[in-house]
A and B are shown apart, each in its own frame.
Chain A
Amino acid sequence: MRITCPYCGARSSHEFAYLGDAAPTRPDPSAPDAAEAFHAYVYERDNPAGPLDELWYHSAGCRRWLKVTRDTRTHAITAVAFAEAGESAR
């Protein structure tokens, strides 16, 4: 499997570290339902069979976090972007 890093170009997935589903966002710890929200954030996953937005870290490359859209049934990658909004391949 090869991932086309927007900064470094197409590289082996060996160069990247995987975090997982990019959808969960850290809840507000002061919200009244924070306990329930943190449980869902830490543990529960949709785990779809199909396209999934996920976070990869280019640890042996530019050391940026990437958001990769990959089909979990075929490993086909349809989109790669920097995870942080506003980052560019400068």
Chain B
Amino acid sequence: MSRYSVLSLIANALTGQTGWKPAWRDATPKPAYEVIIVGGGGHGLATAYYLAKEHGIRNIAVLEKAHIGSGNAGRNTTIIRSNYLLPGNEPFYEWSMKLWEGLEQDLNYNAMVSQRGIINLFHSDGQRDAYARRGNAMRLAGADSQLLDREQVRALCPFLDFDNSRFPIKGGLMQARAGTARHDAVVWGYARAADRLGVDIVQNCEVTGFIREGDAVVGVETTRGSIRAGKVGLAVAGSTSRLTRLLDLRLPIESHALQAFVSEGLKPLVPGVITFGMGHFYVSQSDKGGLVFGGDIDGYNSYAQRGNLPVVEDVAEGGMAVMPLIGRLRMLRAWGGLVDMSMDGSPIIDVGPLPGLYLNTGWNYGGFKATPASGWCFAHTIAKDAAHALNSAFRLDRFRSGHIIDEKGVGAQPNLH
């Protein structure tokens, strides 16, 4: 398969656009692989790509029950950022940010990575202190941050409600390198790049069981037959419990629905990503002009892939409090994705808990920004049978040992994060 370039554009333009080939093969599963990744979303495809590129493993299959990118990778708000606080997670997200910055050159694919910046608004002195601390923690991990005062925020976002009597905007924490990326293009880019390295991408192949030898997992049963593998990695956000149930494993995970919304198209208005500090509301503007926004999870266990109205109202209230002009806009679309909420709000990338099994789960509502580093670290964990330093804190046994990464400080309640 040829590389995309200016020359390939010109050559195909001169030949009536008839020379383009499919970006990846629709592979038929072989009886056995060295590594099987269950889940053809961003995380699974990135894992396969980095396994092939960084670790030289080429005999890999990615199994997807529908078509690739049909799960959460196609159902998110496309924000990329690394404005985290704790030593266990900030270096990981900053590595993800660095991978985003080189992603398009690496994959030879236009993922529309757009570093337009994120501003986390604060509305009180205490919140300003907390964001100053967060900004310092980001800088200690090599990320960028800038504490903006009220007038600096006003210069960037004059349309916000600065004089709201309940939630006056006092400033914001800016990460200029944050922004958005085209979620579908990330999936397609990783799929194409992994395919070029020999990875089999098998679509419409649902895993229905596991092949066991003693304790060990040595393959999977699928709707397209049994497939054996030396190593099986799970990257199936939202559905992890459905698979681990087949292995009699209980995890610190609950599945919840997270909704997001898109408004009608506007001329360019929102310069980057804005988050409301006093409720849960975040907004950015897509390249087509629609405002993309979301808020809290629905808050109770759900596999329904659709949301309910109380959260729609809650998100709209948050939006109106900070940005009253959205009251004049129509919501065009809403969708709900399944997120696997972990008990401390942080992900799990680990070896085990059974021999031959590898876990990548618990992304809560923040999996998209982590896609490159998640794949990179999961590939390292699978290839070396040990976590990389960047995901060494994302162990499954942290709940047992007490080393939880509780960034929001709300404890063992996944519906509160």
Contacts and interface: CB of A to CB of B under 8 A. Distances in A.
A42 B415 CA distance: 14
A45 B300 CA distance: 13
Contact of A46 (B250, B299, B304): B250
Given A18-B415, A20-B415, A75-B308, A42 B343 contact: yes
Given A18-B300, A21-B301, A52-B301, A43 B412 contact: yes
A12 B312 CA distance: 14
Contact of B303 (A20, A49, A54): A49
Chain B contact residues, majority secondary structure: mixed
A-side interface size class: 20 to 34
Given A12-B310, A20-B415, A75-B308, A44 B301 contact: no
Given A20-B300, A54-B300, 15 more contacts: A14-B310, A20-B254, A20-B301, A20-B414, A21-B301, A42-B343, A43-B252, A45-B251, A46-B241, A46-B250, A47-B241, A48-B241, A48-B245, A72-B255, A72-B304
B-side interface size class: 20 to 34
A75 B245 contact: no
Nearest to B305: A73
B101 to A, nearest CB: 36
Interface of A: 1, 12-14, 18, 20-21, 39-40, 42-49, 52, 54, 70, 72-75
Contacts of A42: 343, 399, 412
Contacts of B21: none
B253 interface: yes
Contacts of A74: 304
Contacts of B242: 49
Given A12-B310, A39-B400, A42-B343, A47 B301 contact: yes
B254 A45 contact: yes
A39 B399 contact: yes
B303 A1 contact: no
Contacts of A44: 250-252
Nearest to B253: A47
Contacts of A43: 252, 343, 399, 412
Query: Which interface residue of A21, A44, A54 has the most chain B CB atoms within 10 A?
Result: A44
B318 to A, nearest CB: 15
22 contacts: A1-B308, A13-B300, A13-B308, A14-B313, A18-B415, A20-B254, A20-B413, A42-B412, A44-B250, A44-B252, A45-B252, A45-B253, A46-B241, A47-B241, A47-B255, A47-B301, A72-B255, A72-B301, A72-B303, A73-B304, A75-B304, A75-B308
A49 B308 CA distance: 18
Contacts of A12: 310
Nearest to B398: A43
Contacts of A39: 399-400
Contacts of A75: 302, 304, 308
Nearest to A1: B308
A75 to B, nearest CB: 6
A72 B313 CA distance: 22
A78 to B, nearest CB: 15
B308 A18 contact: no
Contacts of B253: 45, 47
B412 to A, nearest CB: 5
Interface in B291-336: 299-304, 308, 310, 313
Contacts of B343: 42-43
A80 B308 CA distance: 19
A72 to B, nearest CB: 5
Interface in B384-417: 399-400, 412-415
B261 to A, nearest CB: 18
B264 to A, nearest CB: 27
A12 B78 CA distance: 31
Nearest to B301: A72
Contact of B302 (A14, A20, A45, A72): A72
Interface in B348-380: none
A20 B411 CA distance: 14
Contacts of B250: 40, 44-46
Contacts of B308: 1, 13, 75
Given A39-B400, A46-B245, A54 B301 contact: yes
Contacts of B413: 20
Query: Which interface residue of A1, A12, A40, A74 has the most chain B CB atoms within 10 A?
Result: A1
